[in-house]
Copies of this chain bind each other. A is one copy, B any other.
Amino acid sequence: MTLADVAAQASVSVSTASLAFSGAGPIAAETRQRVLDAATELGYAGPNPLGRQLRRGRSGIVGVVVGDALARAFRDPVTTQVLDGLVTTLGPQDLGVLLVPGLGDDPTSAVDPLLESAAMDVAVLLWGVTADDPELVTLRRRAIPVVVVEGQHLPGVASVGIDDRAGMAEVTRHLVELGHTRIACVTLPFDRSRGEGVADAARVDGIVWEITRRRLAGLADAGVEPVAVYETPASLVEHGAAAGRALLSGPDRPTAVVCQSDLLAAGVVIAARELGLAVPQDVSVAGFDGLDLPWLAPDVLTTAVQPLTEKGETVGLLVESLLAGGEPEQRDLPVRLRVGTTTGPPPA
């Protein structure tokens, strides 16, 4: 059952039948109707997308590489909200999102076969891309345009980021103004090794993922030298809780903990509660992202809010621009401080 069959049934040429479906050219209303009727009669469901794709040289597919195991990536609202904004923007452009699992944690793991050979007009790399990223290399070889989210701004690669350094500085200044001096920091992963625990100076110097590095730099910008830098293997509540238990159960505990994500901050708040510490009377906790965390009630995190959905939408716009042959652009979205209930003056 092909367009040719329908054309025959309607006694028109294939090209005319094509026009009846696509509307991309002049056709008499009556002829069009005749073709559509013939299609209905034969049970033809419309032009086969495979034929169209080959002819047009476009698949209509945007490959989205989530920078983590899917199960973990999906547990992070930061990723899913961006995805949502992206899908929403891509829909009207007749583009679909193909989910591509990112590189595993195992340093020997290879790029996903989908990235190697699936049809895609553009690829989006979510999270933590560096210049020599194997995924980037693969895509370059295939000459597939790329949009990077939250990675380095690489020359010739479109990217969307946020001003996390300034956002983190703002959060930190808020704590400094409240009078805190003993401030600890709970960070996102440093690299694919995903270590866990307090990091020494050497390890901090070797941070590979830009996002972690930039947010840490925000503390310094606010004039704060953290009393401890605690590295986590992923932005998840349980890792924040582990960090909180470690940082808050010692003798010289910090009066404030700045976290590089809200999920981590939520974990620290939960750890504090477990330890019988009042937030913010005994310890202040701040996050980053601006997530809506109803289960943390009655607390509301002090955090740097980033426009997640807008980020996804911006990615969609860049995809559109690349597809139209535009130059790769780099955009940075703003971040703003939201003061919640989890920060206050340090204990006397």
Binding site for B on A (CB under 8 A): 43, 45-47, 49-51, 53-54, 57, 59-61, 69-71, 74-75, 77, 80-81, 83-84, 87-88, 91, 94, 96-101, 112-114, 116-119, 141-143, 236-238, 241, 266-267, 270, 274, 294-298, 309
What are the residues of chain B within 8 A of A298 when measuring CB–CB? 274
Q: Which of B101, B117, B238 contacts A294 (CB 8 A)?
A: B238
Cβ-closest chain B residue relative to A242: B294
CA of A137 to CA of B43 in the docked complex: distance in angstroms?
Answer: 13
Chain B residues closer than 8 Å to A114, beta-carbon distance = 91, 96
A169 and B100 alpha carbons, distance in the complex (Å): 39
**Contact A49:B119 (CB < 8 A) given known A54-B54, A294-B241, A296-B295:** yes
A77 → chain B closest CB, angstroms: 7
Q: Are A97 and B96 in contact (CB under 8 A)?
A: no
**B49 lies within 8 A of A51 (CB):** no
A267 to B51, CA, bound (A): 50
- B residues less than 8 Å from A274 (CB atoms): 297-298
Contact (Cβ within 8 A) B101 A98: no
Chain B residues within an 8 Å CB radius of A101:
87-88, 91
Q: Tell whether, in the assembled complex, residue A97 and residue B94 are in contact, meaning their CB atoms are under 8 Å apart.
A: no
Residue among A81, A112, A297 with max Cβ neighbours from chain B (10 Å): A297
CA distance A94 to B99 in the complex (A): 13
Closest 8 CB pairs of A and B: A74-B80, A71-B84, A49-B119, A238-B294, A45-B142, A70-B84, A54-B54, A97-B99
**Which B residue sits closest to A294, measured CB to CB?**
B238
User: Which residues on the B side are within 8 Å of A53 (C-beta)?
Assistant: 50, 53-54, 119
Residues in chain B near residue A96, CB distance under 8 A: 98-100, 114, 118
23 A-B pairs in the complex with CB atoms less than 8 angstroms apart: A43-B141, A45-B143, A46-B116, A50-B50, A50-B53, A50-B57, A53-B119, A70-B80, A71-B84, A71-B309, A74-B84, A75-B80, A83-B99, A87-B101, A88-B101, A91-B101, A91-B112, A96-B118, A97-B98, A236-B294, A237-B295, A241-B294, A270-B294
CB–CB A46/B98 < 8 A: no
A108: shortest Cβ distance to chain B, in Å? 17
A270–B241 contact, CB under 8 A?
A: no
CA distance A308 to B141 in the complex (A): 37
Our pick among B70, B87, B238 for the contact of A87 (Cβ within 8 Å) is: B70
Contact of B70 with A141 in the complex, beta carbons under 8 Å: no
A98 to chain B: which residues have CB within 8 Å? Answer: 61, 96-99
CA of A57 to CA of B100, assembled, Å: 22
For A118, the closest partner residue in chain B by CB is B96
- Nearest-neighbour CB distance to chain B for A140, whole angstroms, equals 9
The answer to whether A71 touches B81, judged by C-beta atoms less than 8 angstroms apart, is yes
Residues of B within 8 A of A61 (CB): 61, 98
Query: For residue A84, which residues in chain B have a CB less than 8 angstroms away from its CB?
Result: 69-71, 74
- A66: min CB distance to chain B, Å: 10
Residues of B near A99 (CB, < 8 A) are 83, 87, 96-99
Asked if A46 and B87 make an inter-chain contact with CB atoms under 8 angstroms apart, the answer reads no
Output the nearest chain B residue to A47 by Cβ-Cβ distance. Answer: B117
User: Which residues in B have their C-beta under 8 angstroms from that of A51?
Assistant: 54
